Amino acid sequence: MEFSDRLYEAIAKKQSRLVVGLDPHIDLLPPAMLQGIDRNNRAQVAEIVRTFCLGIVEATHDLVAAVKPQVAFFERLGPEGFRVLEDVVAAARACNLLTISDCKRGDIGSTAAAYAEYHLGSSAPSASGLRGLGADCMTLNAYLGEDSLAPFSRLLREGRGFFLLAKSSNKGSADLQDRMLQHGEQSIPVYWAVAQLAQKLADNHGLGQCGYSSVGIVVGATFPVEGEQLRAAFPRLLFLVPGIGAQGASGADIRGCFDQNGFGAVANASRSVLFAFRENSGISWQSAARNAATSIRNQLNAAVLQT
Amino acid sequence: MEFSDRLYEAIAKKQSRLVVGLDPHIDLLPPAMLQGIDRNNRAQVAEIVRTFCLGIVEATHDLVAAVKPQVAFFERLGPEGFRVLEDVVAAARACNLLTISDCKRGDIGSTAAAYAEYHLGSSAPSASGLRGLGADCMTLNAYLGEDSLAPFSRLLREGRGFFLLAKSSNKGSADLQDRMLQHGEQSIPVYWAVAQLAQKLADNHGLGQCGYSSVGIVVGATFPVEGEQLRAAFPRLLFLVPGIGAQGASGADIRGCFDQNGFGAVANASRSVLFAFRENSGISWQSAARNAATSIRNQLNAAVLQT
């Protein structure tokens, strides 16, 4: 089944356009959890990260369309961190949650193939190949060009998906992404050329039954005008929209990333869900995360579905 | 001590401009090594990869300026692979070899900081922080802009370095990197704008005593004209030049990446050293790698130092 159709189904069934980003910043974890552990000991920290991420999955899985582990925070913990990442992805999949490995990889040839096989490869030990992380989808950096994306495109047929970084949510995204490229008689920003590349890959593969491709782009919620323009020009690409909540964008800011039926995009919140306990004394960190996820889900639906 | 000065010293002492890329393609490892192991078992494959990479370090360390582990091949093996990566970097450093983590990471804010702290952070367990991989240098993707590079720039003072991907060695590098940007009244390719960004970071930090910055760029050996133009325009940036050997470029192709004194760049060979045994029956894989490294080192010196 196409990744885009699986995402569509999850959105419809859960009535949620929210993706929870699993960004376990060690400094922001619940203080009680950190008590008594040696914060310079990777194995000890990794166990806390595991407990925390599994707790977030447990508290939010029925409220969110997908979870998006931010690989950097796991990689920070070396082998112990990758072990936890694999366990968290497995736990999410066991709850029927879609998983997006946010690793922004990009390389060439057999190197790109190794990244594709690891992140999107089946996590089940098998006779047919080395097991991988088993994510449903991943984020990619397209700077190395179309041939660098071929190993990922090949996995579209196996129900996997990917989002190319087009316009990121940070201020510095202007430095290269907003620069204007010569394009025939016109000019287009660099991020637009990345969206065109995604469109080309989408055309090569075809669409899901939902009308969307399993190839998508990342468009920061902090740039609502760009999001709306991209939505209009690329009506068959899925958008992954980071930057709501802690990064400052609101539900209204991302409305333009969705189509008229309220589909075509998912919005990611990380810190505003994970660390909601910091603003809410008297309830557990899991309850705080659940309340925050409910609230953001409802805000997104209200913003996207308003007529 | 500045990374650029450490690299200069290694080049001068070993009379070598060669970097050996540690790209352990499982399918290309010595058949005798693979015999009797279950190639779908990650732990078993990881042990073979460890033996092979340590053997390459042992066979070539006095002939090369640095080693460059290609992280994707280790990541392919999950936690077991990162364990091996850390051991290989530690072994290289124990031979006084400089190490370049070829991971092409790029992300924003605290996520970028996590990548910086892991790859360039000290591998010694300490009371001052979680241990990292302990590489001297790493490769980065600058698509997310200047602010995304700040956590890496901060580590320049601690003797670390990095190379921004400017012009990669693959054909697809034309797709985005060669597109022409409006730049005042002129136009420049996208890869040139990345080199300008590297120059800006180099200016902010200052130069090593060797006259080069510890900020560099990646320039594919397969594009000799572009390499020569970049060398002339950015005389204080170090170049990491992949693509010699198996990717088809020769010593003569990379001459333009070096300065008049034969400094300012290092060239990477991976498969032509690692898998030299495939073309040389009758000698061990380590001897074949050593012979190949000697030969490529000499070819590079001849090409770069000819008058």
pLDDT tens for residues A203-245? 999 999 999 999 999 999 999 999 999 999 999 999 999 988 8
pLDDT of the residue at B14 = 97
B117 touches chain A (CB under 8 A): yes
- CA A158 – CA A146 distance, rounded (Å): 20
Please name the residue of chain B whose CA is at the shortest distance from the CA of residue A43. Answer: B130
Q: A96 at the B interface (CB within 8 A)?
A: no
Residues 64-83 of A with CB under 8 A from B: 70, 72-73, 75-83
Separation in Å, CA of A253 to nearest CA in chain B = 20
pLDDT value at position B49?
98
Q: Is the pLDDT of residue B307 over 70?
A: no
The residues of B assigned a catalytic role are 104
Assign A129 a pLDDT band (cuts: 50, 70, 90): confident
A79, A128, A145 ranked by CB distance to B174: nearest: A145
| Residue of chain B whose alpha carbon sits nearest to that of A25 | B110
Which residues in chain A (5-34) have CB-CB distances under 8 A to chain B? 23, 25-26
pLDDT band at B240 (very low <50, low <70, confident <90, very high): very high
Amino acid at B84: V
A to B CB pairs, distance under 8 Å: 215
**Segment A28-80, tens digit of pLDDT:** 999 999 999 999 999 999 999 999 999 999 999 999 999 999 999 999 999 99
Residue A54: predicted pLDDT: 98
- The shortest C-alpha distance from B51 to chain A (Å) reads 18
Does the CB of B45 have a partner CB in chain A at under 8 Å? yes
**Among candidates B39, B144, B172 on the partner chain, residue whose Cβ is nearest the Cβ of A146:** B172
Query: What pLDDT was estimated at residue B113?
Result: 97
CB contact under 8 A, A78 and B177: no
When CB atoms are compared, the residue of B126, B131, B193 closest to A176 is B193
A47 touches chain B (CB under 8 A): no
Q: What is the pLDDT of residue B286?
A: 98
Collapsing DSSP to helix, strand or coil, B69 comes out as strand
Q: Is B165 in Cβ contact with A143 (below 8 Å)?
A: yes
Q: How far apart are CA B269 and CA B242, in angstroms?
A: 7
Q: Which of B42-46, B90-94, B151-155, B242-246 has the lowest mean pLDDT?
A: B242-246
- Of chain B, the percentage scoring pLDDT greater than 90 comes to 91
A135 at the B interface (CB within 8 A)?
no
Q: Give the mean model confidence (pLDDT) for residues B217-224.
A: 96
Q: What is the mean pLDDT of residues B275-284?
A: 93
Return the beta strands (E) in A159-288 as ranges.
161-167, 180-183, 186-189, 215-219, 238-242, 265-269
A171 is annotated as an active-site residue: no
B128 vs A7, which has greater pLDDT? Answer: A7
How far does B168 lie from chain A, in Å, by closest CA?
7
Beta bridge partners of A165: A218
What pLDDT is stored for residue A307 in this prediction?
A: 58
A172 touches chain B (CB under 8 A): yes
Helices B285-305 and B42-60: angle between axes, nearest 10 degrees? 50
Q: What is the percentage of chain A residues whose pLDDT exceeds 70? A: 100
What angle do helix axes A78-94 and B78-94 make, rounded to 10 degrees? 170
CA distance A16 to A159: 21
Task: Name the average pLDDT for chain A.
Answer: 95
Closest by Cβ to B82, choosing from A78, A132, A175? A78
With beta carbons less than 8 A apart as the criterion, state whether A141 and B141 touch.
Answer: yes
**Which pLDDT does position B274 carry in this prediction?**
97
A194 contacts chain B (CB < 8 A): yes
What gap in Å lies between CA B8 and CA B20, rounded to an integer? 16
Find which of B23, B133, B176 to mutate to test the A interface (most A CBs within 10 Å of its CB). B176
pLDDT (0 to 100) of residue A68: 98
> Is the separation of the CB atoms in B111 and B117 below 8 Å?
no
Place of tokens 């069934």: A13
Nearest chain A Cα distance for residue B286, angstroms = 23
Tokens for A145, please give them: 């060009």
| CB atoms B110 and A23 under 8 Å | yes
Nearest 10 degrees: Cα torsion B27, B29, B33, B36: 0
Distance from CA of A221 to the nearest CA of B (A): 14
- Tell me what the pLDDT averaged over chain B comes to: 95
Which amino acid is present at B74?
A: F
Q: Which chain A residue shows the shortest CA-CA distance from B184?
A: A180
In which element (H, E) is residue A195 found? helix A190-205
Q: Which of A25, A118, A165 sits opposite B75 (nearest CB)?
A: A118
SS3 A248: coil
Q: Give dist(CA A230, CA A198) in Å, integer.
A: 12
- Is the pLDDT confidence value at B250 over 90? no
User: What is the average pLDDT across B246-258?
Assistant: 85
Query: How would you classify residue B275: left for phi > 0, otherwise alpha for psi between -120 and 50, otherwise beta?
Result: alpha
Q: Is the pLDDT of residue B249 over 80?
A: no
Active-site residue, selected from the candidate residues A68, A104, A167, A200:
A104
Question: Cβ contact (<8 Å) for B148 and A128?
Answer: no
Which has more confidence, B183 or B110? B110
Are B170 and A128 in contact (CB < 8 Å)?
A: no
Given the structure tokens 């409305």, which residue do they identify? A255
Q: Is the pLDDT at A100 greater than 80, yes or no?
A: yes
**Which among A267, A232, A207, A306 has a CA at the least distance from the CA of A64?**
A267
Q: Which of A26, A70, A142 sits opposite B176 (nearest CB)?
A: A142
Measured between alpha carbons, how far is B45 from B59 in angstroms, rounded to an integer?
A: 21
Distance CA B24, CA B67 (A): 13
Q: CB-based contact (8 Å) between B184 and chain A?
A: no
Query: Is A221 within 8 Å of A244 (Cβ atoms)?
Result: yes
